[in-house]
Amino acid sequence: MGSAFRMRGASCAAGLVLLAAVFTGACGAAEPRRPDILVVVISSLRADHSSAYGHARATTPALEALASEGTLYEMAITPTPWGPAAHASMLSGRYVSEHGVTFGNPVLAESLDTLAEHLKAEGYATMAVVTDTALSPQTGFAQGFDEFVEIRPEESGSPDDGAAAAEEALLERARKHAEGDRPLFAYVVLKNPALPWNPPEEYGERFLAQPVVRPELDRLSQLWIPFARQYTMGLITVPPGDLETLASLYDGEIAYADYRLGRILEGLDTGGRGGNLAVFVTSDGGEDLGEHGLIADPSSLFDTIVRVPLVAKWPGRIDAGRRVREQVATIDLPAAVLSIARRDPADTAPAGDLFRSRPVAICEAPHDPDAIRYFRSLRPEEDPSLFERNLLAVRTPDHKFVVTSRGTAALFDLTSDPKERVSVLEADTEKAAELNAHLGIWAAGLREAAPAASR
């Protein structure tokens, strides 16, 4: 598995079709061709655990290398931290309140126009390779893709959540596409490093602060959603040492996903002729690692799970080594990709900022009905209403205002309290009112919600 299909040193005159030509077009002085586009989404990757964003552990050297050749956005915000809903936003350019993909309705409506559909209409060959079983033709996420490859690692017992299989599938199909005359759009989803945190052995032990006996390491690496829900609901406690080990395993998962990212980019290496490939790498949301009493809980809106990495590379068109401090949002991914696809191929001028600055970013977090049912099954005598609420937040570079469907609210000063430990709502009601007004403006501008779909 994981063959990179790399070929070097052959000449155009030999008439051989090289993988190096997959993302470049024919040899010789062909007419300018529209760029091929690769989007890689590493699920559950929070920005502050990427070494490209300053994390002390070397978790993402491949992403760092990509950033050195492209532009890194320091403050990229996901519109929602739950995977399927975030993918729906990145494919449709719509908020949860518009596309309607929630825990209770995890299906992308056919009425929505997706990025893949737009690119197909523009003449692109479209392909998706995903390792997240929540994204499938049955749930509407294959719309617009000529080929939709589902990797189901849980069926084969793969220890790497399918990242190796995804790499192999992508490169194999990219090689076959080399003979085509259409530009290619590939959307790749690597489920690592989502819970459970069980990276291959080398990565599982790489970041441990101190040795952990194998039985204990195996136990922690197999913890799954029921454990996370029990922790979030206060039904169990986790010793600090175990939380530290879980964070190390999480970093190991990140490093392994980054390794696969590096192999994908290497496998698509054009041997010096790669000036026509645009690459985007981001995430659907982060993971809590015990902060705020949460573990892997997508129903909050703390920066631990809404701030994600975002790196874009397009040689000669996107500035290399640039870091953008302004706040941006991954909901603008379709607009960024389409601006590249619709560009005149003969135009070699810099592309400028593909992601517009968003001084005000909106995030949504609907609650998970299954979590409430699970709580009631364990503690039928207790009231789970604390968790039965939807969240809405407005984030600026220095503040975040969060309101719930139960009428509660919180205000965080991100400058003095970046970890969002203490609400300053009562001390700064004027700022809260200002941000609340932004929520009203946003709500008034929402497009009509898509009709609820069903499997």
Query: Quick one: three-class SS letters along the chain?
Result: CCCCCCCCCCCHHHCCCCHHHCCCCCCCCCCCCCCEEEEEEECCCCHHHCHHHCCCCCCCHHHHHHHHHCEEEEEEECCCCCHHHHHHHHHHCCCHHHHCCECCECCCCCCCCCHHHHHHHCCCEEEEEECCCCCCHHHCCCCCCCEEEECCHHHHCCCCCCHHHHHHHHHHHHHHHCCCCCCEEEEEEECCCCCCCCCCHHHHHHCCCCCCCHHHHHHHHCCCHHHHHHHHCCCCCCCHHHHHHHHHHHHHHHHHHHHHHHHHHHHCCCCCCCCCEEEEEECCCCCCECHHHCECCCCCCCHHHHEECEEEECCCCCCCCEEEEEEEEHHHHHHHHHHHHCCCCCCCCCCCCCCCCCCCEEEEECCCHHHHHHHHHHCCCCCCHHHCCCEEEEECCCEEEEEECCCCEEEEECCCCCCCCCCCCCCCHHHHHHHHHHHHHHHHCCCCCCCCCCC
Same domain? For 345 and 425 the reply is no
Amino acid making up residue 342? R
| Mean local confidence (pLDDT), 334-339 | 97
Question: Residues 107-134, buried b or exposed e (16+ Cβ, 10 A)?
Answer: bbbeebebbbbbbbeeebbbbbbbbbbb
pLDDT score, position 20 = 40
| Domain end point (choices 331, 360, 389) | 360
Same domain? For 275 and 377 the reply is no
Is 50 a domain residue? yes
Whether 451 and 104 have beta carbons less than 8 Å apart is answered as no
Which domain, by its residues, includes 436?
365-444
Q: Which residue has the higher pLDDT, 28 or 393?
A: 393
pLDDT score, position 26 = 40
Same domain? For 321 and 178 the reply is yes
Q: Read off the tokens for 59.
A: 């978790």
pLDDT in tens, 44-58: 999 999 999 999 999
* CA max distance for the chain: 77
C-alpha 392, offset from chain centre: 20
Same domain? For 297 and 375 the reply is no
Is 21 a domain residue? no
- Minimum mean pLDDT among 134-148, 273-287, 319-333, 348-362: which range? 273-287
Is 127 a domain residue? yes
Identify the band that residue 325 occupies on the pLDDT scale cut at 50, 70 and 90: very high
Beta bridge partners of 277: 36
Which CATH number covers residue 93?
Answer: 3.40.720.10
Is 20 a domain residue? no
Same domain? For 250 and 338 the reply is yes
Q: What length does the chain have?
A: 455
Same domain? For 333 and 395 the reply is no
pLDDT at 267 over 50: yes
pLDDT score, position 10 = 33
pLDDT score, position 346 = 87
Same domain? For 311 and 423 the reply is no
Rounded Cα–Cα distance for residues 342 and 299 (Å):
36
Same domain? For 420 and 356 the reply is no
Rounded Cα–Cα distance for residues 395 and 409 (Å):
14
Rounded Cα–Cα distance for residues 363 and 334 (Å):
17
Task: For the beta carbon of residue 368, count every other beta carbon within 10 angstroms.
Answer: 20
Amino acid making up residue 396? T
Whether 256 and 279 have beta carbons less than 8 Å apart is answered as no
pLDDT score, position 370 = 87
Same domain? For 302 and 390 the reply is no
Is 16 a domain residue? no
Same domain? For 92 and 201 the reply is yes
Task: Work out the angle between the directed axes of helices 240-267 and 214-221 (0-180°, nearest 10).
Answer: 70
Amino acid making up residue 212? V
State the average pLDDT for the chain. Answer: 89
Amino acid making up residue 426? E
pLDDT score, position 161 = 66
Which CATH number covers residue 401?
Answer: 3.30.1120.10
pLDDT in tens, 106-143: 999 999 999 999 999 999 999 999 999 999 999 999 99
Is 23 a domain residue? no
Quote the pTM value. Answer: 0.91
- Residues near 246 by beta carbon (within 8 Å), at least 6 away in sequence: 197, 220, 223, 238, 289, 290, 295
Same domain? For 297 and 388 the reply is no
Please give the tally of structural domains in the chain. 2
pLDDT score, position 270 = 58
Interior CA angle at 228 toward 49 and 80, to 5°? 60
Task: For the beta carbon of residue 221, count every other beta carbon within 10 angstroms.
Answer: 20
Rounded Cα–Cα distance for residues 70 and 48 (Å):
19
Is 455 a domain residue? no
Rounded Cα–Cα distance for residues 56 and 44 (Å):
19
- Residues near 367 by beta carbon (within 8 Å), at least 6 away in sequence: 103, 299, 387, 388, 389, 390
pLDDT at 147 over 90: yes
pLDDT in tens, 83-97: 999 999 999 999 999
Is 39 a domain residue? yes
pLDDT in tens, 153-209: 766 556 666 899 999 999 998 888 876 789 999 999 999 899 999 999 899 999 998
Task: For the beta carbon of residue 369, count every other beta carbon within 10 angstroms.
Answer: 12
| Domain end point (choices 304, 335, 360) | 360
Beta bridge partners of 392: 364, 403
| Domain end point (choices 341, 360, 379) | 360
Same domain? For 339 and 416 the reply is no
